[in-house]
Structure 1
Amino acid sequence: MSTEVHSFLESIMQVRTALLLCAAVAALTACAPPQPSSPPPGTSTPQPRPVAPPPAGGGVDYQLAQGYPPDPGVEIVIRDHAASPESGLYNICYVNAFQAQPGAETEWGDLVLRDATGSAVMDEDWDEALLDLRTPDKRDRVAAKVNAWIDECAAKGFQAVEPDNFDSFTRSRGLLSAADAQDFIRLLSAHAHGRGLAIGQKNTSELAPDRERNGLDFAVAEECGEQGNCDEYTAAFDNGVIVIEYTDSGLTAACSRWGDALSIVRRDRDVLPVDEPGHVRETC
């Protein structure tokens, strides 16, 4: 065999080997499990970060209608997400997470809970429409809006968030379940923790035993002194319970049993600022 022929055959073998290697690599790549793609911008769930719950037993003020300078001894302030935190204190950001604000139903579109006649299901005490949390898609869409408020809370410097109306399923005429509420609160707690915020359970003592599964760090209990069920919260949250009372009898009951352990305050039901007639703030 001539040298030229031998070189030609050797070149053919090298090309053939290269082609076989390329085919093998392609086959392996095709068989490999697909790698997860990055989620679209704005839809990712932030990774959990260390959070600090409110100081147990710290003096508290519930300032939802409007922020005002806290009294001496106040360590914890709860304010609406539209307000600013109080410098030097532990600030909790209030968001109405399970119901629309009065008159704001149109902002939620098809996310308002409706009965068989098409009428919005209302919280009659506060004239607020309940939000529809019955499907994963709707829970995700409601959470996207509430989580945007939580992002605002974090950006302003709040240390925690309080999502109100966790118990709205009890007013839903059987359309919502406790499971719906808990599936939804877990979306909020994961997002809050990703922003470095603690998150509180608002009322709904029957779900307190699930606090760890729901990712909740403390409780805000309205009228547990009046209703005689503060111990249902402390059983799950120990001393990490903030008690809001609206009557003298409720304040007396809460203080007589829990005054040395829990954060307790009596406010007027409209939580008015200090300079408006009807403002009430009393402690143990």
Structure 2
Amino acid sequence: MDDRMAARVSGRPKALPATVLILLVMLAGCTSAPGPAPSPAPSGRSAAARWQPEPGTDWQWQLSGRLDTSVDAPVYDIDGFDHEAAQVAELHRKGRKVICYLSTGAWEEFRPDAARFPTAVLGKGNGWKGERWLDIRRTDVLEPLMESRISMCAKKGFDAVEPDNMDGYRNPSGFPLTAADQLRYNRLVARIAHRHHLAVGLKNDLPQIPQLVGDFDFAVNEQCAQYEECEELSPFIEAGKAVFHVEYELPVARFCGQSRQLGLSSLLKKYELGVWRERCPAAGA
């Protein structure tokens, strides 16, 4: 309530008859503003139940090239904008769960909704051509944009969301972002995904795992072995939640032993994230 409204109602009014009070209460309940409308629960999925990938679940991560649906993996992580409901449905027919890749912490000039992002929320480049960090403090601007993107994933039938660039506070973003700003924004993204009955993964942001493990359904990590950080992902494993992990520069012999010990779902991939992948061999192989 602002000061002008407070001044108008600060005087004590006459008592109203009980019947009038009851009617006013009923009307207030009928006219309260609704919150954001969630997507209807997809067929066969109850609104209360979300997919929960377990530690050790194999996966395929393909963000470039023609989608190859023949890879023998129970989970696919693919670009949400580049693929349609029919491709998600095809993967479902093959018994796969499908994760919707989105960038939620950086602007991408090549996306169809790029013009909806005001210049004021665009920061420095994040190292990838055509991408810039977002001012995640501006949730008044970003929440409806992310709501629209995540709703798109839900309408296409995806089971989960992988929100990328979730650690702008650790990078030279062009904004004075703090750890508290990042926690607030990451939790907002998780709430939006859950409103649409989707599981959601925490992408990187290792320092905040202890605070965020309860808000997210799995984790996605790049290069924790190369930087000797994989043990920091253990809270997800201990909570019965999968950690989907990739390395780009280490041979599998350098990280698969630790991955098996920690319970990570690890792959060797190339930076372009095409079809090619190398799984960790089974124990004893």
Q: TM-score range by the shorter chain?
A: 0.7 to 0.9
Q: 1:26 to 1:37 in 2, by over 3 A?
A: closer
Match of 2:221, SS? strand
Distance of 1:163 and 1:59 partners within structure 2: 19
Aligned pair count reads 245
Cα distance, 1:168 vs structure 2: 1.6
Task: Provide the rounded CA distance (Å) in 2 between the counterparts of 1:217 and 1:121.
Answer: 30
Aligned residue type for 1:263 = S
Q: Secondary structure at the match of 1:259?
A: helix
Moved more, 223-232 or 256-265: 256-265
SS at match of 2:147: helix
Is the aligned partner of 1:25 residue 2:13?
no
Q: Displacement, 1:247?
A: 1.8
> 1:236–1:55: structure 2 CA closer, same or farther, 3 Å change rule?
closer
TM-score relative to the length of structure 1 = 0.75
Q: CA deviation at 1:129?
A: 1.1
Aligned residue number for residue 247 of structure 1: 249
Shift of 1:33: 11
Q: Does 1:131 align with 2:125?
A: no
Q: Which residue is 2:74 aligned to?
A: 75
Contact 1:100 1:130 (8 Å CA) reproduced? yes
CA distance in 1 between partners of 2:70 and 2:225 (Å): 23
Offset, 1:216: 0.8
Letter aligned with residue 81 of structure 1: G
Residue 230 of structure 1 aligns with which residue? 230
Tell me the TM-score normalized by structure 2: 0.75
Contact 2:248 2:270 in 1 (8 A): yes
Deviation of the 1:35 alpha carbon: 4.2
**Alpha-carbon distance, 1:77 to partner:** 0.6
Name 1:59's counterpart in structure 2.
58
User: Which residues in structure 2 correspond to 1:69-148 (within 5 Å)?
Assistant: 69-72=69-72, 74-82=73-81, 83=83, 84-85=87-88, 86-87=91-92, 88-102=95-109, 106-113=115-122, 120-134=123-137, 138-148=138-148
Contact 2:135 2:175 in 1 (8 A): no
Q: Which residue of 1 aligns with 2:181?
A: 180
Q: After superposition, give the CA deviation of every residue in 1:21-46 in whole Å (9 maximum; x if it has no partner).
A: 98453367679995484335x73468
Structure 2 counterparts to residues 263-282 of structure 1, below 5 A: 263-272=265-274, 274=275, 280-282=276-278
Q: What CA distance in whole angstroms lies between the structure 1 residues aligned with 2:256 and 2:155?
A: 35
Percent identity over the alignment is: 27
Shift of 1:49: 2.6
Indicate whether 1:168 and 2:172 are aligned.
no
Distance (whole Å) between structure 2 residues aligned to residue 211 and residue 46 of structure 1: 24
| Structure 1 runs not aligned, ≥5 long | 1-20, 114-119, 275-279
Contact 1:219 1:237 in 2 (8 A): no
Q: For residues 256-282 of structure 1, what are the alpha-carbon distances to aligned partners after superposition, in whole Å with 9 as ceiling and x for unaligned? A: 11236221111110112x4xxxxx311
- Kindly tell me: are residues 122 and 170 of structure 1, through their superposed partners in 2, closer, same or farther at Cα, counting changes over 3 Å? same
The DSSP-based 3-state class of the residue aligned with 2:106 is coil
* Inter-CA distance 33–232: structure 2 relative to 1 (3 Å threshold): farther
Whole-angstrom CA distance in 2 between matches of 1:49 and 1:193: 9
The letter of the residue matching 2:124 is V
Closer/same/farther in 2, CA of residues 45 and 152 from structure 1, 3 Å limit: closer
In the alignment, is the contact (CA less than 8 A) between 2:55 and 2:237 conserved in 1? Answer: no
Indicate conservation of the 8 Å contact 2:39/2:151, yes or no.
no
Root mean square deviation of aligned Cα: 3.0
* Equivalent AA in structure 2 for residue 122 of structure 1: G
> What corresponds to 1:116 in structure 2?
none
Aligned counterparts of 2:253 and 2:194: Cα–Cα separation in 1: 35
The 3-state SS of whatever aligns with 2:108 is coil
Decide whether the 8 Å contact of 1:49 with 1:195 is kept in 2: no
